[in-house]
Structure 1
Amino acid sequence: MTEKTALVTGAARGIGLATTQLFLKEGRRVAMIDRDAEALHQSAEGLEGALPVACDVSDPDQVAAMTRQVAGEFGRIDALVNNAGVADFRPLEETDFATWRQVMATNLDGVFLMSQAAIPHLKTVRGAIVNVASISGLRASTLRVAYGTSKAAVIHLTRQQAAELGDHGVRANCVAPGPVDTKLALAVHTPQIRAAYHDAIPLNRYGQEAEIAEVIVFLCSDRASYVTGQTIASDGGFDATGVGLPALRALSPNRNG
């Protein structure tokens, strides 16, 4: 049997690295893509079956060259995980156009460019695309005008991909993580912010990178063979609660934590 492969962007750390490790555990070869070459090669060290390739997903020429390299090394691309992303949190009126474009270039243009490059290979093997958006693409929040809008666009782009690629047997789905215990979150979320998130999330905690990876890898697998065009909010129930009403929920006799 020919060994299946996956291409994961933003693979040097966080959800991308956790997804890479889970793919490898399940027997896939993985092309690890990240623009931080030093961190990428450090993360790939010792991972058998991993191919680290430095690439800026917002650069069409780099994406084309990287895709040729991966296809040449692996002979096929069975799954594409568009995980690379950048964040910027500031008020709407303070978001200058350069910042807006920087966020869109990676978060939206990168997903478009990577998908366009991989589609011919995915059609050959009836493969899968998983785009990583965010809960911020499903519900508006302060300080996230560029970030949230980019992720909302990724969710719609996923639906477009599912609608157009279904005839070729290619599935496209989206994962929208809620708050996740990444190094970035630990650095920028104060104890007050973490407590507020805990109050608003039914599971009363942040997610783990490995938990998000489990959903991504499932959607890329044959176990999800009839799932396409969907957005899975892997968020501990954050989106399901709407405004949440933490003060009201705190009155519940069954409330823990």
Structure 2
Amino acid sequence: MSERPVAVVTGAASGIGAAVVVALQERGFAVAGMDLVDIDTDGVDHAVRADVSDGAAVAAAVDAVRGSLGPVHAAVSVAGHYAMAPVDQIEVTAWRRMLRVHLGGFVNLARACLPDLVAHHGALVAIASELAIGGGEHDAHYAAAKGALLGAVRSLAAEVAPAGVRVNAVAPGPTDTPLLASDSPWRAPDYLDTLPLRRLALPHEVARCVEYLVCDAGFSVGDVVNVNSGAVI
């Protein structure tokens, strides 16, 4: 068992999730990384494979974390995927997958961790998206799933705040991670020139916002921190 507080981070194998692992470790957490693919075990205190859209798998993974490190004090829902398509070309299976992974992944993690979070007055943070707020051309299914996620965050925040659990979200704009293909329109100079900062967000910048909500924002409940290079002001 760890003598440090324990955090669970989904989507921990790369990108924002991997950066969140580093940020929370630097703040003294023992961090368990959960992903659908193998995680570099040198970078986390406990690694577990699970599909976040599978509630039973997430519950079993969190039980394994408890057995290895101890009760969960913080949970961060990062796992997700991104795709663009005109709305009339989005298959029903793609709509459902977006919702299962982004909304379902958050809900499954919350349900698995909430008993511990209540016991320890912990924190739960979800990674949303600026597209949940502003929408985007050819992003209907992704924006809808992230918008649903924000609704769940705010509702759950109101539900569990009296028990001492803080639930918040970070809504990044396009971020320089493997999720964005090299030919993504979000990487195009014409798009970057529309941003006040003229660049993509970086994973460690998003992670620092997560760290703040977990460790320092004791009065934040149901809030959304926008990290988007000024795309949404």
TM-score by length of 1: 0.86
Counterpart-to-counterpart distance in 1, 2:187 and 2:4? 44
AA at the equivalent of 1:212: V
* Equivalences, count: 232
What is the CA RMSD across the aligned residues, in angstroms? 1.5
- State the alpha-carbon separation in 2 of the partners of residues 140 and 184 from structure 1: 18
Query: What corresponds to 2:224 in structure 1?
Result: 231
Higher relative contact order (CA 8 A, sep 6+): 2
Counterparts of 1:120 and 1:200, CA distance in 2 = 44
Contact 1:158-1:172 at 8 Å conserved across structures: yes
Which residue identity is paired with 1:12?
A
The residue aligned with 1:254 is none
Greater gyration radius? 1
Q: Flag structure 2 segments of 5+ consecutive residues without an equivalent.
A: none
* 1:171-192 CA-partner distances (Å, limit 9, x unpaired): 00000000111133252325x8
**Equivalent residues in 2 for 1:92-107 (5 A)?**
92-107=87-102
Q: 1:199: Cα distance to partner?
A: 2.0
Aligned to 1:15: 16
TM-score by length of 2: 0.95
* CA 72–236 in structure 1, closer or farther in 2 if over 3 Å, else same: same
Work out which of the residue numbers 125, 131, 135 in structure 2 matches 1:136.
Answer: 131
The answer to whether residue 67 in structure 2 is matched with residue 64 in structure 1 is: no
Offset from partner CA, 1:61-86 (integer Å, 9 cap, x none): 21111111111212210111000001
Determine the structure 2 residue equivalent to 1:35: 36
Q: Give the Cα–Cα distance (whole angstroms) in 2 for the partners of residues 97 and 148 of structure 1.
A: 15
Identical columns (%): 31
Cα distance in 2, alignment partners of residues 184 and 58 from structure 1: 18
Shift >3 Å, 4+ stretches = none
Residues 31 and 214 (structure 1), Cα distance of their counterparts in 2 relative to 1, 3 Å cut: same
> Larger helix proportion, structure 1 or 2?
1
- Deviation of 1:193 after TM superposition, in Å, equals 4.8
Q: Identify which range, 211-220 or 194-203, moves more after superposition.
A: 194-203
From 188, 194, 199, the counterpart of 1:200:
194
